[in-house]
């Protein structure tokens, strides 16, 4: 009888601990959320670490080094997107890390309203620090035949009203740059939640 109780106690402990470890690993696997604090309000973004590990890790590297703090949203096109993460208020580009691989084709994530995507040049694997938030479903930015697409790697989970208010600011041409907000839309900080 003693052995039977000991064996039952062992299995009960094993099941309970197994459930605890499963719950812990599920919590650890949750996608990270960052808060983009702007002078217009806060934007919370879930990063799709599960679907776009390269882009999410790249973004978090910039976040953790406080790279984005003090930069601006330097390109705003109402009905399309708002872009930031590379320029300061004087429109001087900040030196960034090496470019990353474009995950647009492998992730399955579409450039839908509220998604955060990597900005890049015409070269598919050229994204560095700059990102944009889609103001509508921009299907033409998704990969297709002959088009590498733009890697959407996160989604606004709170503060889309802030993004929409940024979209309405007055813009002008500044030097060689078009669609620049007349009054700076500042990125005060970007931090993990």
CATH number at residue 47: 2.40.100.10
Q: Do residue 89 and residue 72 come from a single domain?
A: yes
Q: Is the pLDDT of residue 5 over 90?
A: no
Domain range for residue 19?
1-30
Asked if pLDDT for residue 21 goes beyond 80, the answer is no
pLDDT computed for residue 3 by the predictor: 53
Same domain, 80 and 122: yes
Which of 22-26, 28-32, 156-160, 173-177 has the least mean pLDDT? 22-26
Closest CA to 71 of 170, 169, 160, 189: 189
Q: Is the pLDDT of residue 139 over 70?
A: yes
Residue 166: the pLDDT is: 98
2 has pLDDT over 80: no
Q: How far apart are CA 107 and CA 115, in angstroms?
A: 13
Q: What is the mean pLDDT of residues 90-104?
A: 97
**Based on the domain organization, do 64 and 119 belong to the same domain?**
yes
Please give the average per-residue pLDDT across 97-112, as a whole number: 97
What pLDDT was estimated at residue 29? 64
Same domain, 86 and 122: yes
What's the chain's average pLDDT? Answer: 90
Beta carbons of 65 and 177 less than 8 angstroms apart:
no
pLDDT of residue 99: 98
**Both 137 and 170 in a single domain?**
yes
Average pLDDT over residues 113-125: 98
Confidence at residue 162, expressed as pLDDT on a 0 to 100 scale: 98
Q: Based on the fold, state whether residues 57 and 127 are members of the same structural domain.
A: yes
């Amino acid at each position: 009888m003693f052995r039977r109780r000991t064996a039952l106690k062992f299995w009960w402990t094993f099941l309970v601990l197994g459930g605890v470890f499963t719950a812990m690993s599920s919590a650890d696997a949750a996608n990270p959320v960052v808060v983009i604090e702007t002078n217009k309000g806060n934007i919370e973004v879930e990063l799709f670490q599960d679907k776009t590990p390269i882009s999410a890790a790249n973004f978090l590297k910039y976040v953790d080094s406080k790279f984005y703090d003090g930069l601006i949203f330097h390109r705003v096109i109402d009905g399309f997107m708002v872009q930031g993460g590379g320029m300061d208020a004087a429109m001087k580009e900040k030196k960034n890390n090496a470019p990353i691989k474009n995950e647009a084709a492998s992730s399955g994530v579409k450039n839908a309203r509220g998604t955060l995507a990597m900005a890049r040049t015409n070269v598919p694997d050229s994204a560095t620090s700059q990102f944009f938030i889609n103001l509508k479903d921009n299907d033409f930015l998704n990969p297709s035949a002959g088009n590498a697409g733009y890697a959407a790697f996160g989604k606004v989970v709170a503060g889309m009203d802030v993004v929409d208010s940024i979209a309405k600011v007055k813009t002008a041409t500044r030097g060689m740059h078009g669609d620049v907000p007349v009054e700076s839309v500042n990125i005060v900080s970007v931090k993990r939640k």
